[in-house]
Amino acid sequence: MKFPSQLWRTYIFICCISMLTAGLMVYFKWQNVLSETFTELQYANSLVFSSSQAMFSQKETLLRIMGERLLELGSLKKPDDAQTLIDQLLSSNPELAGFGLADTSGQLILTSFNIDRSKLPNLLNQEESAKTFKEALQTDRIVVGHTYFMKALNQWIIPLRERITDDKGRVYAVMTTGLKINDINSPWNKKNLPNNIELSIIREDFYRLYSSHAEPDKYPQAYEKAIDPLLVKEFSKQLIKQTGKTFNNLKEGNINLQIFSIDILNRHSVGIISYNKNYRFYVITFKPINLLIKQMITPVIWIFSLIFVFNLSLYFLFKHNSQLQKKAEDRLKFQAEHDQLTQLPNRYFLNRIFPKWSEEQKAYAILFIDLNNFKTANDLYGHSVGDQILIEVAARIKTAFPDSLHIRQGGDEFTILLTHQESEQAIDKCKQFLYALKYPIRINELVFSIGASIGIARYPQDGINIEELLRKADITMYDAKNQTSNISLFSKKLDEISKRRSLLEKELEHAIRLNELSMVYQPQVDAKNHQVIGVESLLRWNNATLGFVPPDEFIPIAETTGLIHSIGQFVLNTSIREMLSIHKQLYRDTDKSQTLRLSVNISVQQLLNKEFYNSIFSLISQHDTNQIQLMFEVTENLFIEDIEMAKSVLTQLQQHNIGISLDDFGTGYSSLSVLSQLPINELKIDKSFVDDILIDHHDLMLIQNIISIGKSMEIQVLAEGVEDIEQIEMLKDSGCDLYQGYYFAKPMNKDDLLEYLAGKICE
């Protein structure tokens, strides 16, 4: 399962919070509805309470006045006089159903006109009336009976009884009247109750006087008996549990209590219960919870709709954001895996895609391409031009190698993964590409023709993993730089060369510290009299494991690794020190000493390094220039790049009395015009020309040319690699000034040189 992103986790969190908020809102709304309902019920309860109290006390007063009048009239004896009074009472109090006057034995003596007295039994004989009748005999207060259906009147009534006492306090008679339950003016009438509020009036002995939700007409059985004691018990338990109060507490204090309970219709309800002490009944106002819930429906719908709409909008917002985020991520991923400039994939892309890509290939070739002289163009014309060249090269790579993977390795290096290629096919494609690459690239006013070198390594024969193949294609590319075709296929030999190179690199690092380096010196002689005028110092490296390593092999490595600076320093220090000591010993016993020339090979990297000058100048200031004349042998590579810079470098050296010899002259491309601008003292004809001077006419011509150039510019010419007398003859005829070669002497260590020079002086 994919774990949702941070963004979606935030969304889910907000959703949960909003649902929780919705839940809380519903909860608070419910509390609000409940409290409003309780307030409403409370109000209704006190309303009913006080109006019932008023009603009963009014009836009590009415009956008392009535009783006094009936006593005055002696009603028991003269019922006819009283009859009018009773009938008047009834007609002026329509809420009363009838009136009766019974003697203390319960026998009805007088009844209102609407009652047939003969049909009525003795009140003490009837269970419903006996209890209250007896009660009425005992108390001055009005006694409220329990609701029943009075057949004689065909009505549901509540009987009210009150005794009449004479002036001596003896009970004279008992008045009985009935309150019409359904009377329109009754405080209990549903019409007088606030909307939806139900009402129950329950007598102290749990007889129901009236229940709005169980009206006598519809639920007569609710009035026949007291409420089931089990139910009462249960209610009492609930009362204690919910309010901590008992019925007795309720009866004693003037309090009302909130309660949740179940009504006779089995509905869960909330209610307020209070107790009327005077007339001993409970007033219960209540509302079924269903109604409260109904009240909740609209707000709940609102709340959840709002939350839903909120979450939905948020969802779209988050979705939009997540899409933006994904786009940004895709863009970042693309940027990370592609080269900004050429839009070609880079190494990271290769690393990711390679395992899958290679699975689908049986055989493939990796081409490592490096542009020739790109650095020069870049330095000369600026990076924007360089960038445009790279863009164009990338485009040409794509066209030349369709259906392949093209990677920009960095700088001017590209890698191509070619599918299903035989070596010949791969080479052909490379040739076509190099041909297409040569086609001029126009940038502003400039025109470039770009060359490149390509190294090819093949899967599976040359290697099986990408690192190995890339490394091999890379070393092969270096070989390609030396090939005329500029294309090279990986071979075991190249691998060996490269491995030896790494070994040399490793060993060379410690060469100075391990004392493995030493200097030898090869004499240079004057052409006229073959007298030694000086020496060229040459470096030797004798390594414990590798043996003697030729400088041709290790100097280029020292140059690429940067070791040339410390090695060059060693060369200068050692050569100067040793030559000074040789000079001192040579001329120890004579006063006419001759200055010896010391030619030291200096790499271009050294000349371009500022620190080199500081150390060099302090070094020369320490020795006597009458003993040693210092000469630097430099190659043309120095001014290929920047002629102005070369000029300033060489001038600086000359100002410090250091001569400049142009080494390997003739192998490079230096033109006359370039030479004339530089402060050069000597041209050194490369050994390769001297070698063939006798057999190759062109080489002879070239040497003669060099010598005449030298003459015209007043620069002396030295021929190196002179091995036999015939060569000397030829060189002498051409006007060469100095010689150096095995014919005269091989390079030798300082002791041999001393001996050699001592011999020469003595001649």
Interface with ligand C2E (CB under 6 A): 522, 538-539, 550-552, 555, 571, 601-603, 633, 663-664, 687, 720-723, 740-742, 747
Provide the 10 A C-beta neighbour count for residue 104: 15
Q: Where are any strands of DSSP class E within 151-280? A: 155-165, 171-180, 198-203, 208-211, 256-262, 268-276
Q: Which stretch binds Ca ion (CB under 5 A): 317-325, 446-454, 548-556, 657-665?
A: 657-665
- Out of ligand C2E, Ca ion, none, what residue 539 binds, judged by CB under 5 to 8 A for its kind, is ligand C2E
Q: Which stretch binds Ca ion (CB under 5 A): 116-124, 172-180, 569-577, 628-636?
A: 628-636
- Show Cβ contacts of residue 631 under 8 Å, excluding neighbours closer than 6 positions: 534, 597, 598, 599, 600, 658, 659, 660, 661, 681, 682
Shortest separation between residue 548's beta carbon and ligand C2E, angstroms? 10
Nearer to ligand C2E, 423 or 561 (CB): 561
In 3D space, the residue among 197, 234, 226 whose CA is nearest the CA of residue 47 turns out to be: 197
- Out of ligand C2E, Ca ion, none, what residue 741 binds, judged by CB under 5 to 8 A for its kind, is ligand C2E
Q: Where are any strands of DSSP class E within 411-486? A: 413-419, 441-443, 446-448, 452-459
Nearer to ligand C2E, 337 or 559 (CB): 559
User: Judged by CB under 5 A, does residue 633 bind Ca ion?
Assistant: yes
3-state class (DSSP) for residue 434: helix
Q: Which residues of 543-559 are buried (b: 16+ CB within 10 A; e: fewer)?
A: beebeebeeeebbebbb
Long-range contacts of 403-407 (CB under 8 A, 24+ apart): 405/345, 405/350, 405/353, 405/357, 406/344, 406/345, 407/344, 407/345, 407/346, 407/347, 407/349, 407/350
- Out of Ca ion, ligand C2E, none, what residue 538 binds, judged by CB under 5 to 8 A for its kind, is ligand C2E
- Out of Ca ion, ligand C2E, none, what residue 316 binds, judged by CB under 5 to 8 A for its kind, is none
DSSP β-ladder status, 659-665 and 682-685: parallel
In the complex, residue closest to Ca ion by CB: 633
User: Judged by CB under 5 A, does residue 498 bind Ca ion?
Assistant: no
Start-to-end Cα distance in the chain:
97
Among 198, 663, 682, 699, binds Ca ion (CB under 5 A): 663
- CB–CB of 53/278 below 8 Å? yes
- Show Cβ contacts of residue 495 under 8 Å, excluding neighbours closer than 6 positions: 472, 475
Shortest separation between residue 598's beta carbon and Ca ion, angstroms? 12
Nearer to ligand C2E, 170 or 746 (CB): 746
Size of site (CB under 5 A) for Ca ion = 5
Shortest separation between residue 741's beta carbon and ligand C2E, angstroms? 3
- Out of Ca ion, ligand C2E, none, what residue 80 binds, judged by CB under 5 to 8 A for its kind, is none
Provide the 10 A C-beta neighbour count for residue 718: 28
Letters for 676-695 (x = contact with Ca ion by CB under 5 A, - = none) are: ----------x---------
Among 339, 479, 664, 699, binds Ca ion (CB under 5 A): 664
Shortest separation between residue 754's beta carbon and Ca ion, angstroms? 22
What DSSP letter does each residue of 506-573 carry, written as one string?
Answer: HHHTTTTTTT-EEEEEEEEEETTT--EEEEEEEEEEEETTTEEE-HHHHHHHHHHHTTHHHHHHHHHH
Q: Which stretch binds Ca ion (CB under 5 A): 45-53, 216-224, 506-514, 629-637?
A: 629-637
Q: Identify the residue whose tokens are 């080489």.
A: 699
User: Judged by CB under 5 A, does residue 737 bind Ca ion?
Assistant: no
Q: Identify the residue whose tokens are 């006013």.
A: 445
Nearer to ligand C2E, 147 or 522 (CB): 522
Q: Which residues of 11-30 are buried (b: 16+ CB within 10 A; e: fewer)?
A: beeebeebeeebeebeeebb
- The pair of structure tokens assigned to 485 is 């075709």
Shortest separation between residue 519's beta carbon and ligand C2E, angstroms? 7
Shortest separation between residue 539's beta carbon and Ca ion, angstroms? 11
What whole-number distance in Å separates Cα of residue 748 and Cα of residue 582? 13
- The pair of structure tokens assigned to 317 is 């917002």
- Out of Ca ion, ligand C2E, none, what residue 571 binds, judged by CB under 5 to 8 A for its kind, is ligand C2E
Shortest separation between residue 471's beta carbon and ligand C2E, angstroms? 28
Shortest separation between residue 635's beta carbon and Ca ion, angstroms? 9
Nearer to ligand C2E, 197 or 549 (CB): 549
Among 75, 276, 601, 716, binds Ca ion (CB under 5 A): 601
For residue 110, report the phi and psi dihedrals to the nearest 5 degrees: -140, 135
Nearer to ligand C2E, 178 or 747 (CB): 747
Nearer to Ca ion, 120 or 555 (CB): 555
Which residues contact Ca ion by CB under 5 A? 601, 633, 663-664, 686
